[in-house]
């Protein structure tokens, strides 16, 4: 039996890795090189940090009054963002990036104070998916200072894209990990399961749970790496787009779904919902694991 082929690289600001099983090295290398370029293509197209990206083009035109023409892929990603917005009662909102200016955690931690409600309210005027104007293949952000960000979707989307390419190429079994979001793929009928670990947010060196999964996506959302302590209280970097304040409830949520993008959105929505997130996940029907601020674990993937 051929060894696993490992292909590590760095993209989208995170360590990434592709592992393929069941094929010879030359074939694997050729495929992975192609897969890496596909990840980079998506990074170049949707990163808000790159001035030429589609995201930046749309954000730079905010308030200008002229709609930006978009391609089929962007259109469908916006449709997907819209579905997430609807399914989360407006909590999953790709326009909430403007709130970053208020919640500058470095400053706040130094000064040990919270932002003024009046400041928050002013920025909230620039937030709201319902304000985004979409007509045909064009999109416009009506107010200057509004911005959209695909950051919460594009990594998981990239993982699913690679999975589709790999299966079209006939890969027997494989895995892609992009900064903690994982997607398993392959055309083998009964793939040997992969052993995946869910990181423990409070003891990052000891996995919280080990999953044995044959196919599908595993994504984790949470603030275990992104929070600040102010006045002795822990503030998540994940913000509620309606109130403008950080959410509280779970420090980590992991979800398993057929597609990584669905797993990722479900996990994000659960975190955004705070305590109510667990009930929502239970109804969704996907296997999940939640860790709250105190480290208590719950969910269908726990205690099996």
Scanning residues 270 to 289, which ones bind other proteins (CB under 8 A)?
280, 283-287
Binding mask 124-163 for other proteins (x = CB under 8 A): ---------------------------------xx-xx-x
* Of residues 205-244, those binding other proteins (CB under 8 A): 206-216
| Strand ranges (E), 172-215 | 173-178, 181-185, 194-199, 207-213
Task: Give me the phi and psi of 53, to 5 degrees please.
Answer: -70, 165
- Among 220, 240, 265, 268, the residue binding other proteins under the rule CB under 8 A is 265
CA dist list (Å): 45 to 5, 32, 70, 126, 258: 28, 20, 11, 23, 25
- CB 302 within 8 Å of CB 209: yes
Shortest CB 102 distance to other proteins, Å? 30
Shortest CB 41 distance to other proteins, Å? 10
- Among 12, 45, 77, 267, the residue binding other proteins under the rule CB under 8 A is 77
CB nearer to other proteins: give 79 or 110.
Answer: 79
Q: Is 76 in the site for other proteins (CB under 8 A)?
A: yes
- Among 24, 30, 52, 110, the residue binding other proteins under the rule CB under 8 A is 24
Stated as kind and residue range, the H or E segment containing 5 is strand 5-11
Q: Is 11 in the site for other proteins (CB under 8 A)?
A: no
Q: Is 169 in the site for other proteins (CB under 8 A)?
A: yes
Stated as kind and residue range, the H or E segment containing 166 is helix 151-168
Distance CA 292, CA 304 (A): 19
């Amino acid at each position: 039996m051929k060894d696993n082929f490992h292909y590590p690289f760095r993209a989208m600001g995170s360590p990434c890795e592709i592992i393929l099983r069941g094929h010879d090295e030359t074939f694997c290398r050729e495929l992975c090189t192609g897969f890496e370029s596909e990840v980079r293509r998506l990074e170049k197209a949707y990163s808000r940090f790159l001035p030429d990206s589609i995201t930046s083009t749309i954000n730079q035109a905010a308030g200008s009054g002229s709609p930006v023409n978009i391609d089929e892929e962007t259109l469908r990603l916006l449709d997907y963002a819209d579905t997430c917005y609807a399914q989360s009662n407006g909590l999953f909102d790709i326009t909430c990036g403007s709130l970053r200016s208020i919640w500058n955690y470095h400053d706040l931690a130094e000064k040990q104070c919270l932002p003024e409600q009046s400041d928050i309210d002013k920025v909230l005027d620039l937030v709201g998916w319902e304000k985004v104007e979409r007509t045909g293949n064009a999109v416009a952000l009506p107010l200057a200072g509004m911005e959209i960000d695909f950051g919460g979707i594009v990594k998981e989307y990239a993982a699913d894209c690679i999975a589709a390419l790999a299966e079209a190429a006939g890969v027997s079994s494989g895995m892609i990990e992009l900064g903690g979001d994982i997607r398993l793929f392959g055309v083998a009928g009964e793939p040997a399961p992969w052993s995946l670990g869910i990181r423990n947010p409070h003891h990052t060196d000891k996995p919280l749970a080990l999953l044995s999964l044959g196919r599908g996506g595993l994504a984790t959302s949470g603030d275990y790496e992104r929070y600040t302590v102010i006045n002795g209280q822990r503030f998540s970097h994940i913000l509620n787009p309606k109130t403008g304040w950080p959410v509280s409830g779970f420090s980590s949520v992991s979800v398993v779904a057929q597609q990584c993008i669905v797993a990722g959105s479900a996990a994000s929505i659960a975190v955004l919902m705070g305590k109510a997130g667990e009930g929502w996940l239970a109804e969704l029907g996907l296997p999940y694991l939640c860790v709250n601020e105190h480290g208590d674990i719950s969910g269908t993937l726990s205690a099996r």
